[in-house]
Structure formats: C-alpha cells, structure tokens
Amino acid sequence: QSALTQPPSVSGSPGQSVTISCTGASSDVGSYNRVSWYQQPPGTAPKVLIYDVSNRPSGVPDRFSGSKSGNTASLTISGLQPEDEADYYCSSYTDSYTSFGGGTKLTVL
Amino acid sequence: QAQLQESGPGLVKPSDTLSLTCAVSGYSISSNNWWGWIRQPPGKGLEWVGYIFHSGNTHYNPSLMSRVAMSTDTSKNQFSLKLSSVTAIDTAVYYCTRKVAGLSWYADWGQGTLVTVSS
C-alpha cells in the first residue's frame, strides 16, 4: 500500500472555492475508483464526505465535490463557509486494505 | 446509522498489550458489515489498523499485523482490539468504525478514545 500525498494546508475566504489534491500511485488511486474523503473538525471524529471518487452520502452539501485524473484525486469545496474549517483526509481502498493521506488543514480566512 | 462507543484503559505500559472494546448499537455485529479500528497519534494523521467480519475473517495493516488481533462478541454486540508489545509510538486516539461489506468507505465512527503508552 503506497502512502497518499496531500498538501499540508490550504486556505480560502468565505464564498471562494478551494481544491485539495491527493496523489497516489497507478496501483491504487490510478487503478481503482475507490477514493473517499473525510472531514475532521477540531476535536471530533472524521466523517465521510465523498466516496468512490465523486459520490456524496445523503446529507452532505453539494458544495463538496470529488474528481480524479490519473493518479491524483481531488476534493473541491465551493462557496466556502466558516464551518468548513477542518482537517481533510483522502483514503484509497485496494484489495481490502485502506491507506490514508497525511491530511490537509483548511483555514477559512 | 450505527452508534459506536470505545472503551478501555487510557494508559498502558510499554511492552504491555493494549485492549479496547467497541460497543455497537443500531446494527447487529452479525450484519453485513466489517468492524474495525483506525488510529490517530496526537496532532498527526489517520492510520488504518484493520477490521473484522463476524465470521472471523480479518484484514490488518501489514505494518501492525504481527501485533494485532481483533475479535467479535455477538452475545454482547461488540468487537475488540488487542495490540501487543506497545511502545510510545502506539500512543493515539483509537476510533472504532463500521464499513459495509463490498463498499470502500467508513460510514460510522466512534467518538475515539485516547490511549497513552507510558511507564
């Protein structure tokens, strides 16, 4: 299982859009559409935002969207809101094993 | 949605075995779900530990495989984690999780419990 690479931090102002990247390898992100994204506000447990690259569980606002190109998956948050300030983690599921990215801290300015 | 609640000692001595239990409500342990653990060292990222099906089938993180054991208790609707020969690097918040069989994401998480390894 390869490690997934995320930028340590991103920031944006309310109303803007930000994109968080998640780079893996051809053996995981590049070969399977089993990438998910989790949001972790400070002091709380993670919660799934996106599964299978671009699907949203019920209750997740459509401001959150996911995509993939080659070995890199991306999470885009549009119309930033103060409550979006949190850590975000990507995850890849391959052959019954799970790997996580190092996490990205989103700051809403 | 399942409700998951971790329990266990918050302090474990180096070289001892860390033992945690996750009580499940809202779902039967015998349902079509994988029950697992994900940990997070203080101030760091998430690390997958592994998961177990009620049949006893398991999948563990290769980096922890030699020290990890998981089990289920259908009579109490709970599952457990044991991690042997712990060191300070095993200090983390441990989350129990639910993943639907055949799907790739973790739908439910417990609130997490901090386990510190220290003498």
Average pLDDT over residues B82-100: 97
Q: Is the pLDDT of residue B29 over 90?
A: yes
Average pLDDT over residues B80-102: 97
**What is the per-residue pLDDT for A28?**
87
**Are residues A37 and A67 in contact, defined by beta-carbon separation less than 8 angstroms?**
no
pLDDT, averaged across chain B: 96
Q: For a pLDDT cut of 70, what percent of chain B falls above it? A: 100
Spatial separation of the C-alpha atoms in residues B110 and B2, rounded to whole Å: 9
**Are residues B34 and B107 in contact, defined by beta-carbon separation less than 8 angstroms?**
no
More confident of the two residues A107 and B2: A107
Question: A35 to chain B, minimum CA–CA distance in Å?
Answer: 8
Residues 6+ apart with CB under 8 A from B119: B13, B14
Sheet arrangement for strand B18-25: B3-7, B18-25, B78-83, B68-73
Q: Is the pLDDT of residue B40 over 80?
A: yes
B57 pLDDT band, cuts 50/70/90, is very high
Spatial separation of the C-alpha atoms in residues A8 and B12, rounded to whole Å: 31
* Cα–Cα distances in angstroms (integers) from residue B31 to residues B2, B56, B108, in the given order: 11, 13, 14
**What is the per-residue pLDDT for A65?**
97
**What are the beta bridge partners of residue A73?**
A22, A68
Does the CB of A24 have a partner CB in chain B at under 8 Å? no
List, for chain A, all residue ranges whose pLDDT scores fall below the cut of 70.
1-2
**What is the per-residue pLDDT for A27?**
85
Nearest residue to B47 via CA among A46, A71, A49: A46
Q: Which residues of B touch A98 (CB under 8 A)?
A: 48
**DSSP characters for B58-93?**
EEE-TTTTTTEEEEEETTTTEEEEEE-S--GGG-EE
> Are β-strands B108-109 and B92-100 bridged in parallel, bridged antiparallel, or unpaired?
antiparallel
Q: Is the pLDDT of residue B90 over 70?
A: yes
**What is the per-residue pLDDT for B119?**
95
Q: Which residues of B touch A (CB under 8 A)?
A: 45-48, 59, 61-62, 95, 103-107, 109-112
Sheet arrangement for strand A64-69: A18-23, A72-77, A64-69
Long-range CB pairs of B66-74, under 8 A, 24+ apart, other chains included: B70/B35, B70/B36, B70/B37, B72/B29, B72/B35, B73/B29, B74/B28, B74/B29, B74/B30
**What is the per-residue pLDDT for A31?**
86
Q: Which residues of B touch A52 (CB under 8 A)?
A: 104-105
**What is the per-residue pLDDT for B49?**
97
**What is the per-residue pLDDT for A2?**
53
Average pLDDT over residues B14-25: 98
* Cα–Cα distances in angstroms (integers) from residue A51 to residues A21, A61, A84, B30, B62, in the given order: 15, 14, 18, 24, 24
